[in-house]
Structure 1
Amino acid sequence: MKLLRVGAKGAERPAILHTNGSYRDISSVVDDIAGDVLSESGLAKIAAADIDSLPVLPADSRIGACVGKVGKFICIGLNYADHAAETGAAIPEEPIIFMKATSAIVGPNDDVRIPRNSKKSDWEVELGVVIGKEARYVDEADAMDYVAGYCVVNDMSEREFQIERSGQWVKGKSADTFGPIGPYLVTRDEVADPQNLAMWLEVDGHRYQDGSTRTMIFGVQHIVSYLSQFMSLQPGDIISTGTPPGVGMGQKPEPVYLKEGQTMRLGIEGLGEQTQKTIAWNA
């Protein structure tokens, strides 16, 4: 299933993508795409609904973040061997973990606001993993049982804030609008192999990122298991699993960073596409 949330910000309705391309309102079936709705029983309830009989939402409706009420937005840094190489960083021995503020979350096609005083705003297409049930001390062999599905994430970053302003990476990752997710939460059963998905990102029509989850250092199973050794994972938590090469910071001979008035397009095989325009903070 491809699940989404449709409507004005703060008033999104849960929906499902019909095979004919229409958005069907499932608010009579579940309250939101959030929390326990992401459990096996919650998803089974949606799957059992008669989609053809559900109301059609306008095709031009805004698409919101595909998961509501996100408790934790966890990110994995330097998790692609080819991306680590372009940054000159050593291959990590264990996953590098940092948090992104949930207040950064927006819809997949919402505008991205360049933060005040930003000099180095950057892009990162990433595979998002959505947790479906509470996970604590999970064995790697069982880790996929805790995954509800997957989504596209643009893990926006302000590199000066992240790297040059001391402290942890979180402040370079958490500006408002720096976490577009969606358009869909694609349930786990529809993704045969999360470690073999093509992914790409363009800015103003120029393709900067053109990679694959094949080059992940730590795969989805390992990441879910690993994180559960240090914190419980809750239904609706999102794990952003790292980015392939081609970020602005890694461009040669000089880095390339975002400015106002540009358009980003990005996508992952089978998970849909996003489009964002960059605007001034006070626009």
Structure 2
Amino acid sequence: PLQFFILLTGVLVFLFFQFNEPPVLFNQNAIHQLRNGTLQDRTAEIEKEYSEIWNRRQLKYQESIASNEINVINETTKSYDDELEKRRNELLTIYKESHNGKEAKESDYVFLYYILNYLPHGIIGLLLCVIISAAMSSTSGEINALAATSIIDFYKRLGNPDIQAHRQLLMSKLLTFLWGILAILFALFAQMVENLIEAVNILGSLFYGTILGVFLLAFFFKRVTARSVFIAAITSQLSVFVLYLLFKNEIAYLWHNVIGCAGVIILAVLLSLTKKRK
């Protein structure tokens, strides 16, 4: 559901900017630096050309709608979109050359630009509160769950099954701290990714399918054995990793959700049937 909501939000914002003029660069910090830099005249010229092309695009689009020329809309808008993209890439190139090869991240600023420029201020505050509270609650729950799993499934089972309560409490606090440090390191690494939302979806797609398959087996396939589910989950997860590494460009990353889920269910059912026949 979370991945679906993220993708749905992206689609809605995309549709919004199909009918409302988007900025030449969503990264307002980058465009501000260009406007006040040594190439500010060229930047202003590109922005003017961009607005003129957008206005012509919308005018042509409205004319096509009015004359019922639906079949030529895609061709018309594509030619104008190519011109808009050309101006945007030119500004990005100027920014990169004037900042010693540093690129201006664009994709992570689309949603932020929409929030800051089109939502009422009260809604913006509520949205920020929702995002922060959701992040805090989910992060704390995940870290505590990881610490509890580490204690029960690894430390007590493999190390000291008769651990005293106060020592178990100390170990859980230590593991919570260590998992928190690991989460911070992962966040620091994630900020270097060019498209954070896409990176989150790619990472999630590698694991969500297998997890969903296990849950579906638990709810709807009562006769499937736990051993079969475990083997199917491990096999399916490894298969998803292999497919991603070998066919990264051929298979869209969202398909790994379907592949992982279907692989777990099919393999677990087959293993259970084979075991019963024996």
Query: What TM-score, normalized to structure 1?
Result: 0.21
Q: Which has the higher contact order (CA 8 A, sep 6+)?
A: 1
Query: Which of the pair has more CA radius of gyration?
Result: 2
Query: What TM-score, normalized to structure 2?
Result: 0.21
